[in-house]
Chains A and B, each alone.
Chain A
Amino acid sequence: MTRPRSAGHLQGEGRPQTGTLLEVTDLRTSFQTALGTVRAVDGVTFSLDRGRALGIVGESGSGKTILSRSVMGLLPRRNVEREGSVRFQGQELTTMSLKERREIWGAEMAMIFQDPMTSLNPVMKIGKQIAEPLRIHLDLTRSAAMGTALRLLDDVGIPEPDKRVDQYPHELSGGMRQRVMIAMALACGPTLLFADEPTTALDVTVQAQILDLIEAQRRDRNMSVILVTHDLGVVASHTDEIIVMYAGQIVERAPTAVLFREMRMPYTEALLESIPRLENPSHTPLRVIPGRPPDLINPPVGCRFSPRCPYVQDDCRESAPPLVEAETPGHVYACWHPVGSPVWAEIKARQAAPHAASAEPAASTSPPAATAIPSASATDGAR
């Protein structure tokens, strides 16, 4: 909330301030493929304070996973280009050698992965895997590391830890394995934890437990957390701030409560509407966002969401909207005709109309009028 920096990536000069743990400025990551250059992360700027939780939300292919890996520097060796700046505790990460980064990985920043079924080594005992970072960074002896591993397992709520350390991953359930992953990530007491869709592979009852566990550990250790997910429901209750990503770019960023109350970006709205609601009767069709995530080799001209946006106007297809400040401090979005603007209201009303009065002939006269509006009033509303 107390974030004096504005977001446009043109003014991304990182001014270090007290309490800031991580500052990402105009980060760009692209992959060279046979088909062309995939710009998976395309000019992302944000910062994160100590002890805070940041959510990164977006559908599959929006670049959120690559963003978290780019920040950490955990990218494949080949055919990858990363530009921009990542400052972590005042150190520039992008210019660090691999060796220097290894010192930080696991010790200062750690990551939990999506699928606990595959992210533990199947032929290594649980205890040994958790002891791994301890032995790498703290140079503990085997027995000391095992003792710490036991305590960590207890911390993450695994019953009978002394029995579990001698078990192999396949002997544990998915939820337990994710707890083991968390214990492994927390082993050296990192200040920043990336959780890359930590609950996607788990069933709903376990999801909540894992998220609560991460939250509890965050509070206990005054650790910052970056929670990457496609599920707005997951971030709603476990983050302080949310970044919504689309096609490798930030399209909206706001404190969690603000985002849910006064979202501006139609994409955010669409994401929220696609969450099934409990009060709906059974067999209500899920709302989906039509179309597919854009091709990141040749992203659409103008606003990247325009081909799928229900409120799209001509100007959206011509120029890309910059990130602009909303009324609430700390809330930025990138849209020419945001939620709440006249164009939005008009189209929203028209969408609702067929349900209320489908026979009404007047509905057919409104489209020409709607196309006339954008250049004049809607852009005013946006700026």
Chain B
Amino acid sequence: MTDMLETPVDAELAGAIAAAAGGPIDQGPAPPRRYKRRGRVTIWLAVAWLVFLVFSAVGASWLPYVKHSCSQYDNALQCSTYNKGTPLKIERPPVWAVWAHSTTHLPGAPERAGWMGTDRNGYDIFSRVIYGARISLTIGVLSITFGLLIGGTLGLLSGYHRGWVDRVTDNTMNIMLAFPALLLAIFVVTFFNSPDSTDEVTARKIWPIILALALLSIPPLTRLVRANTLSYAQRDFVLAARSVGANDRRIVFREILPNVVPSMISFALTGLALLIVAEGALAYLGLSVQAPTPTWGKMIYAGKDRLQDAWWIALMPAFVLFLTILSINLLGDVVAERFNIRDKIE
């Protein structure tokens, strides 16, 4: 009862048989298209960068190439570069920037210092970037994860169930979107930072920032997931799943969710970058983690007034942020390609 023509998936072979037989043939799947594989080297570079970054951030306190423990309040000065025991509070360009000069000339002090130069306090920017990765990546990853969990769930539910769930969610999201984003973040952060606390370090907790940023990411994620869910919920395979007795939970999480995940991933990766920068905006207003503790956003904001004279202060952390986001996006594409097994020929 099995038909010979259907056996091989090799469509080329089947096509050849059909041509030879001169007869009609079951329309086999299209021959596997040659995927334009992204350069393997690029992907490995991306992996290498992320591994290096996370490894350095975790082990910053012990690693020889990270100068000093800048994250520690009392040791903040150790971050600076020294000239015979005296901290050099000079903005010095990176060692490779041979055309650039430090903003203040001190006799006997080297003109350039560090892989990324030093900031106005003479702190080594590379070390601060590594320490800053701790906070920035934690805030970015955690807030987008919460956003994904909450926004994704809301989007799935409202897109699948429609009705009053959808109306309530949609209106809530509209209100949240209409609210000025920065104002919302400021409100949340100040609300959760206890004003009674005299100790400034504990007063600046990290989780209100995560919460505020997660709140910002929820409405667009909900919208995206809802729209995707709406279109998948109409598909025949959902009806087929219903027809074998699958309940709503099974349909939403096993049938629809895997189809929505690729677009969620790519959106979340873009959102991650935005949130890391948004943390900087909060930091600029003094609403992020306490002062000497560096974050990327904070460093970029701190350096933006000095772009003319000391470009490296803002550009170096920005470059690191750029590299990181690029790497994450490259990896995200690989992941999305793995997930995205459906063929577009349908």
> Which B residues are in CB contact (< 8 Å) with A209?
1, 3
The segment from A48-56, A131-139, A301-309, A353-361 found at the interface with B is: A131-139
Contacts of A157-187 to chain B: CB distance below 8 A = 157-160, 167-176, 181, 184-185, 187
B237 touches A105 (CB 8 A): no
Chain A nearest CB from B125 CB (Å) reads 44
> Which A residues are in CB contact (< 8 Å) with B258?
121, 123-124
B242 touches A171 (CB 8 A): no
Instruction: Give the size range of B's interface with the partner.
Output: 35 or more
> Would A120 and B237 be within 8 Å (CB), given that A168-B341, A170-B341, A170-B342 are in contact?
yes
B29 touches A170 (CB 8 A): yes
> Would A187 and B244 be within 8 Å (CB), given that A118-B237, A121-B237, A157-B1 are in contact?
yes
The one of B2, B244, B345 that contacts A159, using a Cβ cutoff of 8 Å: B2
Contacts of B5-47 to chain A: CB distance below 8 A = 5-7, 9, 24-29
The one of A136, A181, A205 that contacts B245, using a Cβ cutoff of 8 Å: A136
A205 touches B24 (CB 8 A): yes
A137 touches B245 (CB 8 A): yes
Judge if A206 is at the interface, Cβ distance under 8 Å.
yes
The one of B9, B250, B341 that contacts A122, using a Cβ cutoff of 8 Å: B341
> CA of A171 to CA of B29 in the docked complex: distance in angstroms?
6
Q: Is the interface of B mostly helix, strand, loop or mixed?
A: loop
> CA of A204 to CA of B5 in the docked complex: distance in angstroms?
14
> Mask for B238-251, Cβ within 8 A of A = 1, else 0?
01111111110010
> CA of A72 to CA of B239 in the docked complex: distance in angstroms?
12
A106 touches B26 (CB 8 A): no
When C-beta atoms are compared, the residue in chain A nearest to B3 turns out to be A209
B29 touches A133 (CB 8 A): no
Judge if B259 is at the interface, Cβ distance under 8 Å.
yes
Judge if B64 is at the interface, Cβ distance under 8 Å.
no
> Which A residues are in CB contact (< 8 Å) with B107?
none
Which of B2, B27, B243 has the most chain A CB within a 10 Å cutoff?
B243
Judge if A373 is at the interface, Cβ distance under 8 Å.
no
A121 touches B26 (CB 8 A): no
Judge if B339 is at the interface, Cβ distance under 8 Å.
yes
B240 touches A181 (CB 8 A): yes
The segment from A108-116, A253-261, A333-341 found at the interface with B is: A108-116
> Which B residues are in CB contact (< 8 Å) with A188?
244
> Which A residues are in CB contact (< 8 Å) with B2?
157-159
Judge if A74 is at the interface, Cβ distance under 8 Å.
yes
When C-beta atoms are compared, the residue in chain B nearest to A101 turns out to be B245
B243 touches A111 (CB 8 A): yes
> Which B residues are in CB contact (< 8 Å) with A204?
24
B247 touches A102 (CB 8 A): yes
Judge if A117 is at the interface, Cβ distance under 8 Å.
yes
Chain B nearest CB from A150 CB (Å) reads 15
> Would A123 and B6 be within 8 Å (CB), given that A110-B244, A111-B240 are in contact?
no
> CA of A370 to CA of B236 in the docked complex: distance in angstroms?
50
> CA of A120 to CA of B246 in the docked complex: distance in angstroms?
14
B236 touches A205 (CB 8 A): no
Judge if A211 is at the interface, Cβ distance under 8 Å.
no
Judge if B343 is at the interface, Cβ distance under 8 Å.
yes
When C-beta atoms are compared, the residue in chain B nearest to A130 turns out to be B244
A123 touches B245 (CB 8 A): no
When C-beta atoms are compared, the residue in chain A nearest to B340 turns out to be A123
> Mask for B118-159, Cβ within 8 A of A = 1, else 0?
000000000000000000000000000000000000000000
When C-beta atoms are compared, the residue in chain A nearest to B232 turns out to be A121
> Which B residues are in CB contact (< 8 Å) with A106?
243-246
> Which B residues are in CB contact (< 8 Å) with A159?
2, 6-7
A119 touches B342 (CB 8 A): no
The one of A119, A121, A173 that contacts B28, using a Cβ cutoff of 8 Å: A173
> Which A residues are in CB contact (< 8 Å) with B346?
117-118, 122, 170
> Which A residues are in CB contact (< 8 Å) with B27?
173-174, 203
Contacts of B244-279 to chain A: CB distance below 8 A = 244-247, 250, 254-255, 258-259
Judge if A236 is at the interface, Cβ distance under 8 Å.
no
Judge if A270 is at the interface, Cβ distance under 8 Å.
no
A121 touches B255 (CB 8 A): yes
B241 touches A173 (CB 8 A): no
> Which A residues are in CB contact (< 8 Å) with B241?
121, 132
B341 touches A105 (CB 8 A): no
> Mask for B331-346, Cβ within 8 A of A = 1, else 0?
0000000010111011
Judge if B163 is at the interface, Cβ distance under 8 Å.
yes
Chain B nearest CB from A297 CB (Å) reads 22
Which of B26, B163, B247 has the most chain A CB within a 10 Å cutoff?
B26
Chain B nearest CB from A96 CB (Å) reads 13
Chain A nearest CB from B296 CB (Å) reads 35
> Which A residues are in CB contact (< 8 Å) with B240?
111, 113, 119-120, 181, 184
A102 touches B245 (CB 8 A): yes
B1 touches A118 (CB 8 A): no
B243 touches A123 (CB 8 A): no
Which of B2, B7, B345 has the most chain A CB within a 10 Å cutoff?
B2
A132 touches B29 (CB 8 A): no
Chain A nearest CB from B35 CB (Å) reads 14
Which of A121, A157, A159 has the most chain B CB within a 10 Å cutoff?
A121
B25 touches A205 (CB 8 A): yes
> Which A residues are in CB contact (< 8 Å) with B9?
167, 171-173
> CA of A159 to CA of B241 in the docked complex: distance in angstroms?
24
> Would A168 and B239 be within 8 Å (CB), given that A157-B1, A213-B1 are in contact?
no
Judge if A107 is at the interface, Cβ distance under 8 Å.
yes
Judge if B105 is at the interface, Cβ distance under 8 Å.
no
Judge if B167 is at the interface, Cβ distance under 8 Å.
no
Judge if B304 is at the interface, Cβ distance under 8 Å.
no
> CA of A107 to CA of B244 in the docked complex: distance in angstroms?
7
A206 touches B29 (CB 8 A): no
CB pairs A–B below 8 angstroms (6 shown): A107-B245, A113-B236, A133-B244, A168-B341, A185-B244, A206-B6
> Known contacts A74-B243, A118-B236, A173-B9; can you find 15 more A-B pairs with CB under 8 A?
A103-B245, A106-B245, A110-B244, A111-B243, A113-B236, A132-B254, A159-B7, A160-B7, A169-B342, A172-B29, A174-B26, A175-B26, A184-B244, A188-B244, A205-B24
- For the complex of A and B, the 3 pairs showing the least CB-CB separation, nearest first, are A106-B244, A122-B342, A170-B343
- Measuring CB to CB, which residues of chain A are less than 8 angstroms from any residue of chain B? 72, 74, 78, 102-107, 110-111, 113-115, 117-124, 132-133, 136-137, 157-160, 167-176, 181, 184-185, 187-188, 202-206, 209, 212-213, 216
